[in-house]
Amino acid sequence: MRAKYTFQTSLRGLSTNRSRSILTIFGIVIGITAIMLVVSLGAGAQQLILAQVQGLGTQTVAIIPGREPTGPSDIASLYSDSLKERDLAALKSKANVPGLKDAMPVSFDAGSASYGANNYQVSVFGGTELMAEMFDLHPAAGSFFDKSDVESRADVAVIGAKVAEHLFENSDPVNKNIKIKGRSFRVVAVLGATGGGSLFNFDDMVIMPYVTVQDYLLGVKYFNRIIVEAEENADVSIVADDIRITLRDSHNISDPAKDDFFVQTQKDLADRLSTITSALTWFLVAVASIALFVGGVGIMNIMLVAVTERTHEIGLRKAVGATEKDILSQFLLEAVLLTGIGGIVGIILGSLLAFIIAFILSTFLHINWQFIFPWSGAILGFTVSTLIGLIFGVYPAKQAAKKSPIEALRYE
C-alpha cells in the first residue's frame, strides 16, 4: 500500500478514538515536557553562570594559595599562606611572565562596620586601584582610591550601596569615617547598586587597599589571591604556565604535585561550571525519561486493545488484499503517530513553560536570565518519542499482522 494511504488509514484509526488517543499520549507529553523544561532551564543557568565568569574577562587568571582541592572534603586550600609580596614581585618581572599586563593581590576579611550608632555586617575586599577596571566598578559618589593610597597604606574605603544605606541612611557618606575592628577608615567613594545575581556581590562590601587590610585588619603578610591580567594578545594558557614555573621557582618546588598554589584561568572555571551544570541537566533528563518509559508501556497497552478491538477490520483488510507488512505498517504508524504527536505537544508545552519561567525570573526577580529554546532537547525529545512509538508499537503491530484472516473475520 502506498505510504500516503497507510498514513491516512492510521490517522483515521486514531481519530475514531480521539479521547482515548489524547489520554494515551499524556505520559509521553509529560515526559517530553519535563525534558524540554530541564534542558532549557539547564542551558539558561549555564548561560547565566558563564556570562558572570566571563564578565571578569577572559584574560584574567587567578592564583589561589594552597593545593588545588581534590574533593569536597579536602580543605588543604584553607589557611594557606603561600602567596607573599616576593611572589608578586617575581610575577611582575617581564623575564618570568612575559604575557603579564598587571597583577593585583587580594586579601579578604569580614566584620562589623559601624558609623555612629549604626552597625552592618560587611565583607572586606582588599585590592589595588586596578580593581575598578577589573570588576567594572563605578562609584556613584566620590572617587576610587589610587596607587598612592595603596602605597601609603591609607585608611580609605570604598563602600557598597547597601553598606552606605545601612550605615548612613540618607546622609552623604563621602569623607566620613566608618569603624571596622576599632580602626577608622575614611569613605572615599560609594558604589552604585549592582543588584543580586553576580558572583561577587559588591553591595555588601567594603573595598580597601590590600595592604591596609593585611596590616591593620588581618595582621598577616600573605595574600588570599593574586589576580593576574594577561596582555590582550597573550595566550592565557601560556601565561598560566609561566606563572606556575615562576612560583615553583620562587617557592623552591621541583615536583608539580607538591605545589602550594594553583592557577585558575577563566576558561578553567567556565569549563568546570559547564561540566557541573550539564551533568546536572542530563541527570534530570534521565529522571524525566522514566515518565517516557511509563508512557511507552501505556502506548503498548492501548495498541494491544486497539488490535483486539479491530480484529474484524484486520481480517477484512487481509481478505481484500492487505499483506502482513501493510497491517504491520498501519498499526506501527498509529503508535508512532501517537507518540510523535505527544512529543510535539511536549516540546511546545515544555518550551512555553521554560519561557514563562525565564520571563518571571528576568522581569520580576531581575535575574539576567535568558530564555533558550533547547534545540538539543527538542530534537532529542522528538526522536525519543517516535522511537518509543516504534519500540512499544512493534509488539502490538506484529500481533495484528499475524492474525489469520478467517480467525479475524470470525471474531465476535
Q: Which residues bind other proteins (CB under 8 A)?
A: 1-2, 5, 9, 12, 16, 312-313, 315-326, 404-406, 409
Asked if residues 178 and 124 have their Cβ atoms less than 8 Å apart, the reply is no
Q: b/e for 104-117, b at 16 or more Cβ within 10 A?
A: bbbbbbeeebebee
**Residue 3 beta carbon to other proteins: minimum distance, rounded to whole angstroms:** 12
Q: Between residues 46 and 329, which has the closer beta carbon with respect to other proteins?
A: 329
Name which of 292 and 306 has its Cβ closer to other proteins.
306
CB of 49 to other proteins, least distance (A): 55
Could you tell me the smallest distance in angstroms from the CB atom of residue 342 to other proteins?
A: 23
Q: Collapse the DSSP code of 233 into the 3-class scheme (helix H, G, I; strand E, B; otherwise coil) and give the result.
A: coil
140 alpha-carbon distance from chain centroid: 31
CB of 220 or CB of 316, closer to other proteins: 316
Among residues 152 and 404, whose Cβ is nearest to other proteins?
A: 404
- Contact (CB, 8 A) for 314 and 337: no
Cell matching residue 367: 535575574
Residue 50: phi and psi, rounded to 5, are -65, -40
Contact 199, 241 (CB under 8 A): no
In a 3-state reduction of DSSP, which class is residue 76?
coil
C-beta of 361 vs 401, nearer to other proteins = 401
Task: Calculate helix-pair angle for 26-55, 324-363, nearest 10 degrees.
Answer: 40
Q: What is the CA radius of gyration of the chain?
A: 33
User: CB-wise, 1 or 391, nearer to other proteins?
Assistant: 1
Q: How far is CA 309 from CA 21, 45, 325, in A?
A: 14, 49, 20
Smallest separation (angstroms) from other proteins to the CB of 1:
5
Which spans in 252-323 are helix H? 266-309, 311-319
* Residue 202 DSSP symbol: G
Shortest distance, position 315 Cβ to other proteins, whole Å: 8
CB of 317 to other proteins, least distance (A): 7
Pick between residue 1 and residue 130 the one whose CB is nearest to other proteins.
1
Q: 9 or 351: whose CB is closer to other proteins?
A: 9
Name the minimum Å distance from CB 337 to other proteins.
Answer: 18
- Alpha-carbon 336 to chain mean position: 34
Distance CA 32, CA 347 (A): 6
- Smallest distance, Å, CB 10 to other proteins? 12
* Cα 381 from chain centre: 21
Q: Closest distance between other proteins and the C-beta of residue 319, in Å?
A: 5
Place of cell 562589623: 112
Which C-beta is closer to other proteins: that of 65 or that of 315?
315
